[in-house]
């Protein structure tokens, strides 16, 4: 059985918004960054501030979202940030080629060999990593509150009213609930194996051995997910899902003036980014002088 | 539409992945308004028969099928799944497998929504189903927060809104407390009385009798062994394979003249130092949530065979998870062999307490049953030379010998469950804790392993006598408590309501009903005969006194 996120009704501006508004606004910001490829901090920071304002207006308690943020921070800092810092990849190729002062070098060596080299970390790469992390966090700020502040009963309806098919809409409904279900199964499996003397913190051996020793956790969780998926399919088949055009009883979604306001801001942000980049040439990657002066 | 809702003629089926026939030459006609009970042990073919009727065979489960299954005169294999769904409403064994929506209203409306009915018609059907099953108070609740009984009722409401003429109920009582099970059976009976055809698949015949079935279909090895009125059940239907009412068992045992000797259970009580102590334990999952445990005080002694009874969602599993250290008290403390569980890891506590979780799929991972059983002893760093012996004894106890090289995830649910029990047995902990050990098990199998685990007679070669100092099992099956426990904990309202010998706790009919425990025929017979027996006994042993 699929479970839902820790949703709680709150009397906030964000929760009074139509769910479609929030999804469309989030897409506008993501597209504003990605389609015209905005790397200019003068555009990124205002969008970050706008997203942060909406996030704070949702009034979500830290303890509710702490785990999600830890995961996002790990992803952003250690994967996106370090990747950008060391390789300069994941963004405009010009970053790696840009002549820029070297701040320090990171020695990298292939284990068990003498092969290695020094990776120069330049001012340009540091600025790029900061930019990239800010972009990612801006998008995360909009995405993280959704499961905690959007009624799970209208996930499917929201997508349906955005024009998706019945199957896509209900798939999105199920997909939203998959992650908390996965987390619940992982916790139960962890408890079950700990009760058999399994201690993950005491795993010994090299990386392949350690990965192999994670099997008691990974296999039951994957199996449970598979079984849950099959059960959901059977349960839906037994009640004739997908055989004809579906009626969505709870589809009383209606845009209010506040929705038009937020949608207007979102669309304006997207259009502005496109115009700035493609008409005025503003939005390209560059290292601002104040940042360069910190190192040179 | 022809009036005969269901006709099965010469139905034979073999799963693609299995060599043997799952069904062989089944013929059957079921009438409108009839309640048919299908019984038999695990693997007898009753679930396969249900799948043939609701169309999951041949759509979801592939194999070779011959013969006919006609729903109102139309062959199931020729019908669209949406057509079948409007004729046959299926209620699965575990409501968790059936519920797809996140909210009760959406769940009940799910079927009619899929049929594309007008909104007003859907709301009308949902209202009727809610009213029919008295679910008004659940209407806007989240489905995953419901108790087992509530989930089952919501799943049934979801089936009823499809307005099927046939209801297929596949072991619908498995996850319900006794009072909820009785309520569900009353609903099934009234649906039959209103003209629906109700097919109830259930191996616990005694419990299903409450629904007053019109006929019983008894299956063995994929074949019909008996089809007729339930009162005329022929003596060759083995009372050790399906659970029959205690007076029937007594009659059969007497007729067979094979009354087993009554074996004594060890007396519960204070014998030496307690193994586990709960001191004024309070617990809540989060600050904003209400207490689940409140001022719980409990001592578990060597020799205890404890049955934990109580309603769905009362906190019984939460209680025992404190003993293993998976949960820590919000207030108070839990001591395991004198040490506070807050200062111990779960792995350390596992040397003293072995805990069998409810769901096997959350636990099984190894490529073979043998390796699965070796996992715990290896984690606890047992002497490698002794592990094979522990594994073999455990396999024998749960009747899995011969399957040691099978992949556990390829076994049936009942076999998987027994594998998890064996995996904990192999750890040789001092205390064995089982959470609903009989769920998904047929009567014959769970009787066998409960007897092996709890029977303390010299001849029984009991695992308990040999290894476990105490055994605790959480159960909805009151007869398990009557038959195997020497101490009963009745749990409800966040704390222990009653704690004592089975004959003391279970004699209070009003108290039991208050906490949704329904007296069974075995309990009633034991209470009647208690002056002569002096203790509670299994049905077979009562034959010597009745």
Name the B residues in 48-67 with CB < 8 Å from any A CB: 54, 56, 59-60
| Lowest mean pLDDT segment, chosen from B149-163, B385-399, B466-480, B496-510 | B466-480
Residues of B in contact with A182 (CB under 8 A): none
Out of A180-184, B195-199, B411-415, which region has the weakest mean confidence (pLDDT)?
Answer: B411-415
Structural domain total, chain B? 1
Q: Where are the beta strands (DSSP E) in B31-151?
A: 35-39, 63-71, 74-75, 88-91
Residue B117 lies in a domain: yes
Do the domain assignments include residue B544?
A: no
pLDDT of B230 over the 50 cut: yes
- Please judge whether A249 and B123 are an interchain contact, meaning their C-beta atoms are less than 8 angstroms apart: yes
Please report whether residue B109 resides in a domain. Answer: yes
Distance, CA of B409 to CA of B368 (rounded, Å) = 9
- For chain A, what is the mean pLDDT? 87
Tell me, yes or no, whether B470 lies in a domain.
no
Residue B267 is predicted with a pLDDT of: 65
The answer, yes or no, to whether residue B497 has pLDDT greater than 50, is yes
- Min Cα distance B122 → chain A (Å) is 8
C-alpha Rg value of chain B to the nearest Å: 24
Least confident range of A281-285, B209-213, B265-269, B432-436: B265-269
Question: Is residue B465 domain-resident?
Answer: no
In three-state secondary structure terms, B489 is: strand
Q: Would you call B359 an interface residue with chain A, using a CB distance cutoff of 8 Å?
A: yes
Whole-number pLDDT of residue A9: 82
Q: Do A1 and B122 touch (CB under 8 A)?
A: no
Q: Is the CB of B119 inside 8 Å of chain A's CB atoms? A: yes
Report pLDDT digits (tens) over A257-289.
Answer: 999 999 999 999 999 999 999 999 999 888 899
pLDDT at B342: 94
Contact B359 A1 (CB under 8 A): no
Locus of tokens 């005025």: A280
Model confidence over B291-337: pLDDT tens digits?
999 999 999 998 889 999 988 778 888 999 999 999 999 999 999 99
Q: Is the dihedral of CA A134, A139, A144, A146 positive or negative?
A: positive
Q: Which residue of A has its CA nearest to B126?
A: A249
* Residue A38: closest CA among A289, A266, A271, A274: A274
pLDDT at A182: 87
Are B305 and B485 in contact by the 8 Å Cβ rule? The answer is: yes
pLDDT of B240 above 80 = yes
Dump pLDDT digits (tens) for B443-489.
887 887 787 777 654 444 455 455 678 889 999 889 999 998 999 99
For B183-219, what is each residue's pLDDT tens digit? 889 989 999 999 999 999 988 788 888 899 999 999 9
- Contact residues for B89 (Cβ-Cβ < 8 A; gap 6+): B159, B160, B162, B164, B166, B167, B168
**Is residue B130 less than 8 Å (CB to CB) from chain A?**
no
Q: Is A194 on the interface with B (CB under 8 A)?
A: yes
CA distance A261 to chain B (A): 30
User: Cα–Cα distance between B340 and B334 in angstroms, integer?
Assistant: 6
With CB atoms and an 8 Å threshold, state whether A1 touches B345.
no
Determine whether the interchain pair A246/B113 forms a contact, defined as Cβ–Cβ distance below 8 Å. Answer: yes
Average pLDDT of span B41-66: 88
Tokens at A97, concatenated: 């080629």
- Please check whether residue A188 touches B, CB under 8 A: yes
Helix (H, G, I), strand (E, B) or coil at B264: coil
CB contact under 8 A, B380 and A237: no
Nearest-angstrom CA–CA distance, B233 and B227: 9
pLDDT higher than threshold 70 for residue B429: yes
Using the beta-carbon criterion (under 8 Å), do A247 and B158 form an inter-chain contact?
no
Chain A contact set for B101 (CB, 8 A): 153
Crossing angle of helices B369-379 and B413-425, in 10° steps, is 30
**Where does residue B267 rank: exposed (0-12), middle (13-18), buried (19+ CB within 10 A)?**
exposed
- Most confident residue range from A113-117, B58-62, B401-405: B401-405
Asked if residue B385 lies in contact with residue A208, where contact means CB atoms within 8 angstroms, the answer is no
Q: How far is A256 from chain B (nearest CA, A)?
A: 24
The answer to whether B56 contacts A185, with C-beta atoms less than 8 Å apart, is no
Closest to B423 (Cβ–Cβ): which among A4, A196, A242? A196
- Considering Cα of B462, then B467, then B470, then B473, what sign does the dihedral take? negative
Tell me whether residues B361 and A245 touch, CB distance under 8 A: no
Q: Does the pLDDT of residue B365 top 60, yes or no?
A: yes
Residue of B nearest to A241 (CA): B114
Mean pLDDT for chain B overall: 87
Q: B379 contacts in A (CB within 8 Å)?
A: 196-199
Q: Do A1 and B143 touch (CB under 8 A)?
A: yes
| Mean pLDDT calculated for residue range B517-534 | 92
Compare all CA atoms of chain B with the CA of A182 and give the residue at the minimum distance: B362
Of the listed ranges A119-133, A238-252, B465-479, B528-542, the one predicted with least confidence:
B465-479
Please give the residue that has the higher pLDDT: either A106 or A186.
A186
B162 and chain A in contact, CB less than 8 A = yes
In chain B, the residue whose alpha carbon lies closest to the alpha carbon of A232 is B100
Domain around B182: 6-244
Is the pLDDT confidence value at B270 over 70? Answer: no
pLDDT, tens digit, 9 for 90 and up, residues A244-257: 889 998 878 899 99
Burial class (CB in 10 A: 0-12, 13-18, 19+), B61: middle
Cα B35 to chain centroid, rounded: 22
Please give the C-alpha separations between residue B533 and each of A132, B262, B264, B544, in angstroms, as whole numbers. 79, 9, 11, 9
pLDDT in tens, A46-82: 999 999 999 999 999 888 888 889 988 888 888 777 7
Confidence (pLDDT) at B460: 41
Dist CA B472 CA B499 (whole Å) = 13
Task: Looking at the complex, report in whole angstroms how far the Cα of residue B64 sits from the nearest Cα belonging to chain A.
Answer: 20
Assess if residue B474 is contained within a domain.
no
Domain membership of residue B445 (yes or no) is no
Exposure b/e, B484-502, CB count within 10 A at least 16 = b: bbbbbbbbbebbbbbbebb
CA A235 – CA A61 distance, rounded (Å): 35
Rounded CA separation B160/B128 (Å): 9
User: For residues B471 and B437, is the Cβ–Cβ distance under 8 A?
Assistant: no
pLDDT at B457: 45
Reply yes or no on whether the pLDDT at B417 is more than 70.
yes
Contacts of A231 in chain B (CB under 8 A): 97-98
pLDDT of the residue at B459: 44
Q: The domain that contains B160 carries what CATH number? A: 3.40.50.300
On whether any CB of chain B is under 8 Å from the CB of A192, the answer is yes
| Residue contact A195–B350, C-beta within 8 A | yes
Which pLDDT score, from 0 to 100, does residue B458 have?
Answer: 46
Q: Between chain A and chain B, how many beta carbons pairs sit less than 8 Å apart?
A: 168
CA distance A217 to chain B (A): 8
Task: Indicate if the pLDDT at residue A193 is higher than 80.
Answer: yes
Q: Which conformational region is residue B336 in: left (phi greater than 0), alpha (psi within -120 to 50 degrees), or beta?
A: beta
B214 domain residue, yes or no:
yes
- Contact: A244, B326; criterion CB under 8 Å: no
Task: Give the separation between CA B302 and CA B271, rounded to whole angstroms.
Answer: 6
Interatomic CA distance for residues B359 and B8, integer angstroms: 34
Contact residues, chain B, for A185 at CB < 8 Å: 362
Cβ <8 Å between A195 and B324: yes
Is pTM beyond 0.90 here?
no
* Residues B78-95 pLDDT 10s: 998 778 988 999 988 778
Please tell me which residue of chain B has the smallest CA distance to A181.
B144
In this prediction, residue B461 carries a pLDDT of 46
Q: Kindly report, residue by residue over A151-172, the tens digit of the pLDDT.
A: 888 889 999 999 999 999 999 9
Quick one: which H or E segment has residue B47? Answer: helix B46-54
pLDDT band for position B2 (cuts 50, 70, 90): low
């Amino acid at each position: 059985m699929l479970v839902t996120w820790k949703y709680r009704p709150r009397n906030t501006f964000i929760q009074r918004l139509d769910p479609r508004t929030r999804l469309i606004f989030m897409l506008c910001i993501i597209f504003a960054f990605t389609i015209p490829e905005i790397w200019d901090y003068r555009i990124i920071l205002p969008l970050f501030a706008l997203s942060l304002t909406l996030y704070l207006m949702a009034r979500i308690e830290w303890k509710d979202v702490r785990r999600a943020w830890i995961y996002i921070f790990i992803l952003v800092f250690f994967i996106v940030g370090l990747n950008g810092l060391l390789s300069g990849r994941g963004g405009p190729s010009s970053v790696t080629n840009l002549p820029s002062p070297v701040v320090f070098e990171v020695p990298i060596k292939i284990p068990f060999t003498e092969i290695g080299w020094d990776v120069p970390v330049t001012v340009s790469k540091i600025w790029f990593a900061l930019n990239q992390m800010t972009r990612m966090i801006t998008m995360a700020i909009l995405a993280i509150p959704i499961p905690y502040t959007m009624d799970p009963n209208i996930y499917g309806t929201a997508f349906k009213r955005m024009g998706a098919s019945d199957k896509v809409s209900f798939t999105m409904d199920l997909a939203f609930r998959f992650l908390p279900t996965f987390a619940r199964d992982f916790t139960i499996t962890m408890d079950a194996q700990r009760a058999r003397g399994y201690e993950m913190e005491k795993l010994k051996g090299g990386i392949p051995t350690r990965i192999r020793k994670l099997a008691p956790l990974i296999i039951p969780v994957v199996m449970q997910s598979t079984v849950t998926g099959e059960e959901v399919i059977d349960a839906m088949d037994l009640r004739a899902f997908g055989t004809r055009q579906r009626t969505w009883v709870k589809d009383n979604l209606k845009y209010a003036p506040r929705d038009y306001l937020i949608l207007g801001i979102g669309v304006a942000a997207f259009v502005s980014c496109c115009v700035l980049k493609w008409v005025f040439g503003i939005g390209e990657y560059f290292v601002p002088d104040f940042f360069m002066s910190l190192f040179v | 539409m022809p009036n005969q809702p269901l006709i099965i003629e010469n139905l034979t089926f073999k799963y693609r992945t299995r060599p043997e026939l799952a069904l062989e030459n089944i013929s059957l006609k079921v009438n409108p308004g009839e309640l048919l009970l299908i019984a038999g042990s695990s693997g007898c073919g009753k679930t396969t028969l249900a799948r043939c009727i609701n169309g999951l065979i041949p759509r979801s489960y592939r194999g070779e099928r011959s013969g006919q299954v006609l729903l109102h005169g139309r062959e199931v294999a020729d019908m669209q799944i949406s057509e079948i769904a409007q004729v046959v409403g299926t209620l699965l064994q575990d409501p968790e497998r059936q519920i797809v929506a996140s909210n009760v209203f959406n769940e009940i409306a799910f079927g009619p929504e899929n049929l594309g009915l007008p909104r007003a018609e859907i709301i009308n059907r949902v209202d009727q189903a809610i009213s029919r099953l008295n679910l008004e108070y659940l209407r806007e609740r989240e489905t995953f927060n419901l108790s087992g009984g509530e989930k089952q009722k919501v799943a049934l409401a979801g089936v009823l809104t499809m307005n099927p003429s046939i209801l297929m109920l596949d072991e619908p009582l498995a996850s319900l407390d006794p009072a909820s099970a009785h309520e569900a059976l009353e609903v099934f009976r009234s649906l039959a009385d209103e003209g629906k055809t109700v097919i109830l698949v259930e191996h616990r015949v005694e419990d299903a009798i409450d629904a007053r079935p019109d006929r019983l279909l008894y299956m063995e090895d994929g074949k019909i062994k008996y089809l007729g009125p339930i009162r005329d059940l022929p003596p060759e239907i083995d009372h050790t394979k399906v659970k029959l009412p205690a007076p029937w068992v007594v009659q059969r045992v007497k007729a067979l003249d094979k009354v087993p000797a009554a074996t004594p259970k060890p007396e519960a009580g204070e014998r030496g130092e307690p193994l586990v102590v709960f001191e004024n334990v309070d617990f809540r999952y989060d600050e904003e949530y209400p207490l689940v445990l409140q001022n719980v005080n409990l001592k578990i002694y060597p020799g205890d065979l404890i049955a934990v009874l109580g309603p769905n969602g009362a906190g019984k599993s939460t209680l025992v998870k404190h003993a293993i250290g998976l949960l820590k008290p919000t207030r108070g403390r839990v001591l395991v062999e004198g040490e506070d569980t807050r200062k111990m890891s779960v792995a350390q506590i596992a040397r003293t307490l072995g805990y069998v979780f409810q769901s096997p799929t959350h636990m099984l991972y190894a490529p073979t049953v043998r390796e699965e059983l070796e996992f715990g002893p290896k984690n606890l760093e047992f002497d490698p030379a002794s592990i094979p012996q522990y594994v073999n004894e455990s396999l024998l106890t749960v009747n899995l010998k011969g399957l040691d090289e099978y992949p556990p995830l390829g076994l049936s649910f009942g076999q998987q469950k027994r594998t998890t029990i064996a995996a904990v047995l192999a750890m040789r902990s001092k205390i064995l804790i089982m959470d609903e050990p009989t769920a998904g098990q047929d009567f014959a199998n769970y009787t066998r392993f409960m007897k092996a685990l709890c029977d303390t007679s010299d001849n029984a070669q009991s695992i308990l006598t040999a290894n476990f100092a105490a055994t605790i099992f959480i159960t909805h099956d009151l007869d398990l408590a009557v038959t195997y426990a020497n101490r009963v904990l009745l749990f409800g309202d966040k704390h222990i309501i009653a704690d004592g010998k089975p004959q003391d706790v279970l004699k209070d009919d009003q108290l039991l009903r208050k906490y949704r425990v329904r007296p069974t025929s075995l309990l009633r017979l034991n209470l009647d005969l208690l002056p002569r027996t002096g203790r509670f006994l299994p049905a077979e042993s009562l034959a010597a006194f009745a």
